Copies of this chain bind each other. A is one copy, B any other.
Amino acid sequence: VGSSVTSRVLNDDPTVSVRPETRERILAAALALDYTPDAFARGLKTARTMTLGLVLPNLAYAVNAEIIRGAERQAASKGYVLLIADADEFVQAGDAYRRLLFERRVDGLLIASATTGSRVIKDLSSQPLPFVLVNRRQPGLGVNVSLDDEAGTAMAVSHLAALGHRRIAHIAGPPDADTARRRLAGYRSGMAANGLRPASSMIVAAPFSERGGFDAATSLLNAPSRATALVTASLASAVGAMAAARALGLSVPNDVSVTGFHDAPIAEYLHPALTTVRMPLREMAEVAVRTLVGLIGGEASRDVTIATAPVLITRGSTAAPS
């Protein structure tokens, strides 16, 4: 049997017409020999690598792990394999950048990098490789898949307002992260919806880290007529905020309530257990992969905001003000 027929049979080419017997022989031989096509040879010929690149920031937080896992699984189910690149190096236009963008190693890129406006991101648009921004909106710059962070944060605010809190402060993320800006918007709209208008001193920007939350909460809780509740923009900063309250001799939730953003197993085991907004992170990663695969296939795609509603997980870190 010639290699042409073999290739077509093995690839289920619908245009092939082959005698059932020949097909059987090919299939049997392939099985007997454990034949698996060489991905690089195939990639060279078809100009499809069946590989997706994932550029992502700090892995130390469970949130990003959810994204990797969701993306990896969805990619696998679409026949793709996932290449991972560190955002820091990528964004500095290092080797990872060159390798993913120009060596034709990937058919498309998922960019989950958190900060905004880097030169690299701009390069992308003047360049034919399809890409999708994950958890990150940047109008005018290609397709993005993101969550309704605003609704999530507003939900946390409403929960606290319903408990009777009025002086609700916000530990926001870093201003260069668009997720931080959208969570801040959610804080504002949540306050407004509850008839509250926060003083600007009630909003403090901080990195998405324990340390960031600690420092921000310390300054917030040291202020005169301090807040009775802190809505934070990440899980890590909520942990830091609770630690800061304790360090000041304040009890959570008796003296001050704290909410986090995103959920992870540890939230339930903290002291007190953390009330937090659970966002559909895995779904976001899956949709991002599907969107990218569509783009690669030539589909026109639009931005998508994951419609699945955020869920507020109420635990011990929030209570009525005393």
Other-chain contact of A44, B41, B59, B82 (Cβ < 8 Å): B41
Using a CB-CB cutoff of 8 Å, which residues 65-79 of chain A contact chain B? 65-66, 68-69, 72-73, 76-77, 79
Contact, CB under 8 Å: B68 / A84: yes
Chain B's closest residue to A272 (CB) is B271
Using a CB-CB cutoff of 8 Å, which residues 260-285 of chain A contact chain B? 264-266, 268-271
- Copy tally for this chain in the complex stands at 2
Contact, CB under 8 Å: A84 / B86: no
Other-chain contact of A39, B96, B104, B243 (Cβ < 8 Å): B104
Other-chain contact of A89, B65, B73, B100, B269 (Cβ < 8 Å): B73
Binds B, one of A16-24, A146-154, A208-216: A208-216
Q: Mark A213-252, 1 if CB is under 8 A from B, else 0.
A: 0100000000000000000000010011011001000000
At the interface, yes or no: A292 with Cβ under 8 Å from chain B?
A: no
Other-chain contact of A266, B51, B82, B236 (Cβ < 8 Å): B236
Contacts of A264 in B (CB 8 A): 60
Contact, CB under 8 Å: A76 / B104: no
Contact, CB under 8 Å: A83 / B86: no
Complex: A243 Cα to B265 Cα, angstroms: 13
Chain B's closest residue to A38 (CB) is B104
The answer to whether residues A86 and B99 also contact, given A38-B44, A209-B265, A264-B60 and a CB cut-off of 8 A, is no
Using CB atoms and an 8 Å cutoff, list the residues of chain A in contact with chain B: 34, 36-41, 43-44, 49, 51, 54, 59-62, 64-66, 68-69, 72-73, 76-77, 79, 81-86, 89, 94-96, 98-100, 102-105, 209-211, 214, 236, 239-240, 242-243, 246, 264-266, 268-271
